[in-house]
């Protein structure tokens, strides 16, 4: 058990990261100025559709060297404040570092007509299923964009800015399509690794929230990050869009990172006016409500994952694989956990 003194010391360090006791230092070191913060003017006459895209994944069978993952992606659509529908699709992805390419290549070819090889750097291999989920989210995003009509708002849970391989081509197709259809495509991140400060990696988005709410206390606001002194640099290879920190409701405590492709960045006031208008729900004040719904509707619950695992074990039994085989194949941690019943994940 950690003693109170040590805990106090840790708390002191956390406090240094958490609080921003010197706003001047923040302005000096980040290059942010008062005038960078802009008010968002609400556009309450928006009558278009709002689409929100999200995805999730969960392991349904883990053999350590290879795992089978349930991947779910999809989108929700709203007209104003009224939910219209949720579209989702499930896939099983086999995460095998020696044998993964064809699954990506197959999907890239079938959905985006991209025929290039799909090879990940060695350092990225343990994130195979995350990449596959991301690809499925792009498939869903493309589908939502295809369905959307001129002027609609399309929201993506994540970011666009680090527009590098392996999905650079995919994102280009998506942005082009969104631009052709004149859609307001925006990516909103629930978390951000942006930091500032010399010697300390202070949370930039959080501290920008403190600063912005002092400067514009009773209104939603945004700030564009071009040229700001933050880490990592808010500009990816080939990325021509812009990155923002936004606060969508004055009563909310939360601020978010937002990425906009170039054609949306040029009219960001209007797009944020629409977005802010639909970020005032009771359930998630200050966060785009459609993304809230997408997150809830598309998440894979633990119960569902375990259910699928049980079904899979039944299938294995039908194919002559008994429980002994299955247990002997498991990571021994699973045995140590002594999980009840047939649950092995």
Partner 1 sequence: MKDFITTNQLSIMDDDASSHVLERKTIDRTKTTTYKIISKDVREFHFIIPYNERVELGQIFSIRDYGVKDDEITFLARVTDIKHDSNYEGKWDTALKGTEFYDEDQIFNRIVAEPLGCIIFNEKINKKEFKKSKTIPSKFSEVEKASFDEFEFLTEKMGDLEVGYLRNGSQVVEEIGVKLNSEIMDHHMGVFATTGMGKSNFMKVFAASCMKKASMGESKLGLLLADPHGEYLLGSAKNNTKGLLHLGKYSDGLICYSTNKKNAEKNGEVEDLKIGLRDIKPTDILPLVGEWRTAQVEAIESLDSEITSDWLKSFKEDGKLVIKNFDPRTINVIERRLKRLLGFSYIDEKISSIDKIIKSLQEGKVVLIDMQGINEREELFLLSLLSRHILDKYREESLDECKKICLITIEEAQRVLGGKDSSISRFEIIAREGRKFGVGLCAITQQPKLVDKQLLSQFNTLVVMGLGDRNDRKCLEESAKQDLTTLDVEIQTLEKGEAIISTLKVPFPIPATIHLYEDYIEQLKKKDQTDGSPVSKAKKLSRPPD
Tell me how far, at minimum, the Cβ of 279 lies from partner 1, in Å. Answer: 9
SS3 annotation, 260-280: ECHHHHCCHHHHHHHHHHCCC
Count CB-CB contacts under 10 A for residue 199.
5
**Which residues would be at the binding site for partner 1 (CB under 8 A)?**
63, 66, 68, 81-94, 96, 99, 102-103, 106-107, 249, 251-252, 280-283, 285, 289, 293, 296-297, 316, 319-321, 325, 329
Residue 82 vs 198, nearer CB to partner 1 = 82
CB of 61 to partner 1, least distance (A): 8
> Residue 39 in contact with residue 60, Cβ under 8 Å?
no
Closer to partner 1 by Cβ: residue 12 or 283:
283
Nearer to partner 1, 3 or 113 (CB): 113
- The distance of closest approach from Cβ of residue 319 to partner 1 in the complex, given in angstroms and rounded to an integer, is 7
- Our CB check for partner 1 shows the closer of 21 and 47 to be 47
Minimum Å gap between C-beta 6 and partner 1 is: 32
Distances (CA, A) of 78 to 52, 69, 159, 183: 9, 29, 21, 15
Minimum Å gap between C-beta 235 and partner 1 is 35
**Is 239 within 8 Å of 163 (Cβ atoms)?**
yes
Contact 193, 160 (CB under 8 A): no
Which residues neighbour 247 within 8 Å (Cβ) at sequence distance 6 or greater? 209, 212, 213, 220, 221, 222, 254, 255, 286
Query: Which residue, 61 or 196, has its beta carbon nearer to partner 1?
Result: 61
């Amino acid at each position: 058990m950690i003693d109170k003194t040590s805990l106090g010391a840790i708390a002191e360090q956390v406090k240094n990261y958490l609080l921003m006791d010197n706003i001047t230092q923040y302005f000096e070191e980040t290059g942010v100025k008062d005038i960078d913060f802009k008010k968002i003017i609400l556009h309450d006459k928006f009558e278009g559709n709002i689409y929100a895209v999200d995805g999730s994944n969960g392991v349904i069978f883990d053999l350590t060297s290879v795992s089978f993952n349930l991947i779910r992606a999809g989108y929700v659509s709203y007209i104003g404040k009224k939910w219209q529908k949720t579209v989702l699709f499930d896939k099983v992805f086999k995460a095998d570092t020696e044998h993964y390419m064809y699954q990506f290549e197959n999907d890239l070819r079938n959905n985006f007509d991209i025929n290039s090889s799909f090879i990940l750097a060695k350092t990225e291999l343990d994130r195979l299923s995350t990449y596959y989920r991301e690809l499925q989210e792009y498939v869903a995003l493309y589908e939502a964009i295809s369905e959307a009509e001129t002027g609609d708002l399309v929201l993506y849970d994540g970011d666009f800015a680090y527009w590098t391989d392996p999905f650079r081509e995919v994102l280009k197709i998506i942005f082009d399509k969104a631009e052709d259809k004149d859609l307001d495509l925006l990516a909103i991140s629930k978390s951000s690794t942006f930091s500032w400060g010399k010697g300390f990696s202070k949370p930039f988005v959080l501290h920008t929230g403190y600063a912005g709410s002092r400067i514009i206390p009773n209104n939603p606001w945004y700030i564009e990050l071009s040229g700001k002194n933050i880490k990592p640099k808010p500009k990816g290879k080939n990325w021509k869009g812009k990155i923002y920190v936004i606060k969508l409701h004055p009563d909310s405590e939360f601020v978010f990172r937002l990425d906009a492709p170039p054609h949306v960045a040029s009219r960001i006031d209007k797009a944020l006016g629409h977005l802010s208008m639909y970020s005032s729900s009771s359930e998630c004040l200050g966060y785009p409500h459609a993304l809230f719904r997408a997150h809830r509707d598309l998440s894979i619950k633990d119960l569902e994952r375990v259910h699928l695992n049980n079904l899979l074990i039944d299938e294995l039994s039908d194919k002559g694989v008994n429980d002994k085989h299955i247990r002997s194949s498991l990571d021994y941690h699973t045995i140590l956990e002594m999980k009840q019943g047939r649950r092995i994940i």
